Structure 1
């Protein structure tokens, strides 16, 4: 039976949001397979020492592999490099007082409550709020049409990546048996990926038994 648990994560460690805490969660599920938010093109770079930077998830999985025999698979696709306009767009966000306040609240909750917060409705609510603030900032910007178009392209890339990740998970599951798996995915994707999972379960030939971790 294909049981799979979605765990919302964050790529950087902070307080209770750390690789040891994620390790405990994964260990409690005892998966045979871990699906990772990594593109296959970069997978070896992270696990063969080519890159010195380790995300929270990679650090945790490396530690987990020392104690457990599992398969861990990249399911993401390559993310396009940010254009100069996109970089400028995010710089605009980071100078806005309301945006800074929301991000600070997110970072504080992430640090103090860790994965309990990242896997909660509160996390979804804050992501939704700062998305609305981003749109408000762009609507009032000089050259707003240019920025709004760039913003649309950014979310189109996110949409395509999420669809590809789920398709890769379902394709693997068609060809391979496992009892327990986990899917580690950044918390910013939580709401949209849950909605996509519901749609996939309606349409897919193979049915996966999804568990959404947390949801306090």
Structure 2
């Protein structure tokens, strides 16, 4: 959905696209997804999430309801994996992935001049990214004015 929004925006406005992800998530993450998605209860939550996202788009993806549903799915995934080494590895990989995105944003801002920017991330990262943004406000030299879109 994020890519579709960027494409639609590009028809009306000229802008520079700056990717902040250097790499995708790890092979362990993909193995975890293949494993946990076999669970019927999780599959129902995923189907419900996808239905709501298709019906309501960004209104849902930017909502507290979405955050709560994502949290419910993550808790169930951890229960399925019984807090295994795989679960711990994937959580650490996601943490590193998100921290790198925030670092890359600040690095870009330190080295480039611009008036405004939009940072879009997947809904699964929303809650933890917002926490990282709040923490970065006090730790970074460049002071950014972040606006978090919510409904």
- Higher helix fraction: Structure 1 or Structure 2? 2
Give runs of ≥4 in structure 1 deviating > 4 Å: none
| Greater percentage in strand | 1
State whether residues 102 and 130 of structure 1, in contact with CA within 8 Å, keep that contact through their aligned partners in structure 2: yes
Shift of the 107–62 alpha-carbon distance from structure 1 to 2, 3 Å rule, reads closer
Q: Which residue of 2 aligns with 1:79?
A: 24
Secondary structure of residue in 2 paired with 1:210 = coil
Structure 1 residues 120 and 60: CA distance shift in structure 2, 3 A: closer
User: If you compute each CA radius of gyration, which structure gives the higher value, 1 or 2?
Assistant: 1
Mapping of 1:1-216 within 5 angstroms? 10=1, 56-57=2-3, 59-79=4-24, 81-83=26-28, 87=31, 89-139=32-82, 148-214=84-150, 216=151
Q: Give the CA deviation at 1:95.
A: 2.3
Residue segments in structure 1 that go unaligned for 5+ positions in a row: 1-9, 11-55
Q: TM-score by structure 1 length?
A: 0.63
**CA pair 212-66 structure 1, distance change in 2 beyond 3 A:** same
**Secondary structure of the residue that 1:136 maps to in structure 2?**
helix
Q: What's the Cα RMSD here? A: 2.1
Using the alignment, how far apart are the partners of 2:6 and 2:87 within structure 1? 33
Aligned partners of 1:73, 1:92: CA distance in 2, in Å?
33
Unmatched runs of 5 consecutive residues or more in structure 2: none
- Aligned pair count reads 151
